[in-house]
Amino acid sequence: MDNISQSSPQSVWRDRALALTVLVVACIGAYRIGMASRHVGDANQGLSVDGSSLDFGEVWEVRDFSWNLPVHNNTTEEVRVGEFTASCSCLSIEPRTLVIPAGQTVPIHLLLDLTTKAVPPTAQNQRNEAKSVADFAVQVAPRIANSPAPPIVWTIRGRVRKALAFSEPQLDFGESLVRGHPFQPKIIRVTAHLPLVSLHAKCNPALALVHVKASGDTKTFELEVAPRENLPLGSLAFGVKVKPNARADEHLPEFELPIVGTVVGDVRPAPISVFLGPVRLGETSGETVTLWSKSGKPFTVDSIAPSADTIHVEPCQSSPQGAKAFRITQKASRLGQQPAQIRFLVRSDLTPDTPLAFFLPVTYHGIVGKESTSTEQGVAR
């Protein structure tokens, strides 16, 4: 008959105590791992903001809407924010870095440009646009210093009301402003989304004169801008401030309408710049440029001054209708892109007492190559 061993009561209790000890040690280890994991989570997810701070409600469309966002640190340790990032350039944040003590709340200041389209167009937004109201949303993310966890993302939302709508986003004169010719004004239509008492406009009087014409109702106006005829040649860019005035208890923001264009002389070059292409060192490349009068009036060239002594300008046979042609050549003396310019001083019958200067850009790209005879080829643009 086989002998069957039986455990003593002391042995059973000893085994049970050992198993219990192992279980307790495992629980403690799991707890510590969980707490470590939770600590990382607290350092990244322990920041919060109140829901009411994420909705600025319905406001007027302005470029500098100010909003404070209180940030709470719900952890038992300070949290260092290495950087606040935004989902679009329409938002600036101060401060960019921040230390929030344990259990404390620190506000950050947001400055939003509500004139941008921070929300992609949707059917709902298009319906809102018709009613002068549009949804606006931008995201803010705090990046916790020395933390591998992804940042929290908060979305700031609101609804933006337009007080005014312009028929064009800017008033562009193009190249219609020709020195010596009368500058013709341009008109843009302004529509208010609520009845106005008046509409005022102003700009630097040295740049232009502005005038507002009412159309007979309290919502539709015409804004006329007439640039000054003594503006210098070159690009034109300034703003006209437009201020709608409603009832005494309704404060409306001021708008700025961009004005752009170029003041050009009556005499212009064709092409407007010259690129001679790749040219081997020591070789010469050239191109023909024609000066012509927009008005067809006679003109004379008082002087020609290249900025580099390697550029030579020789007159060619005059073209029909009084245009003047010049052959421009340049010898490559340096490697790489070599920009230069030629200054033409021109006197037109439109401005006989005031000669006008303009600059013709000339560029070549010097390359290494074998010596060869001069070439007469270039690319104009």
The backbone torsions φ and ψ at residue 22, rounded to the nearest 5 degrees and listed phi first, read: -60, -40
Residues of the chain with CATH 2.60.40.60: 165-264
Count of alpha carbons within 13 Å of 154, Cβ hemisphere only? 23
CB proximity list for 260: less than 8 A, separation 6 or greater: 170, 171, 172, 173, 235, 236, 237
Q: Which residues contact 342 (CB under 8 A, 6 or more apart)?
A: 304, 305, 306, 307, 311, 313, 328, 359, 360, 362
Q: How confident is the model over 302-346, as pLDDT tens digits? A: 999 999 999 999 998 766 677 899 999 999 999 999 999 999 999
Convert the pLDDT of each residue in 103-130 to its tens digit: 999 999 999 998 876 444 444 444 444 4
Q: What's the residue count for the chain?
A: 381
Q: Is 80 exceeded by the pLDDT of residue 381?
A: no
Instruction: For 284-340, give the secondary structure using H, E and C.
Output: EEEEEEEEEECCCCCEEEEEEEECCCCEEEEECCCCHHHCEEEEEEEECCCCEEEEE
Task: Identify the CA nearest to 253 among candidates 88, 115, 119.
Answer: 115
Q: Is the pLDDT of residue 57 over 90?
A: yes
What is the model's pLDDT at position 218? 86
Give yes or no for a contact between 275 and 364, defined as CB atoms under 8 angstroms apart.
yes
β partners of residue 109: 68, 94
Residue type, 186: K
In the chain, CATH 2.60.40.10 covers 47-162, 267-380
> Taking the C-alpha atoms of 42, 45, 50 and 55 in order, what is their torsion angle to the nearest 10 degrees?
170
Residues in contact with 377: Cβ distance below 8 Å, sequence separation at least 6, in sequence order: 277, 285, 286
Give the SS3 label for residue 7: coil
Residue 213 has pLDDT above 70, yes or no: yes
Distances (CA, A) of 133 to 57, 123, 164, 369: 12, 13, 11, 64
The pLDDT value given to residue 41 = 33
pLDDT of residue 194: 85
Terminal Cα-to-Cα distance of the chain (whole angstroms): 113
Mean pLDDT for the chain?
Answer: 82
Question: How far apart are alpha carbons 33 and 12 in whole angstroms?
Answer: 32
CATH topology of domain 267-380: Immunoglobulin-like (2.60.40)
CATH class of the domain whose range is 47-162: mainly beta
Number of H helices, E strands in the chain: 2, 27
CATH of region 165-264? 2.60.40.60
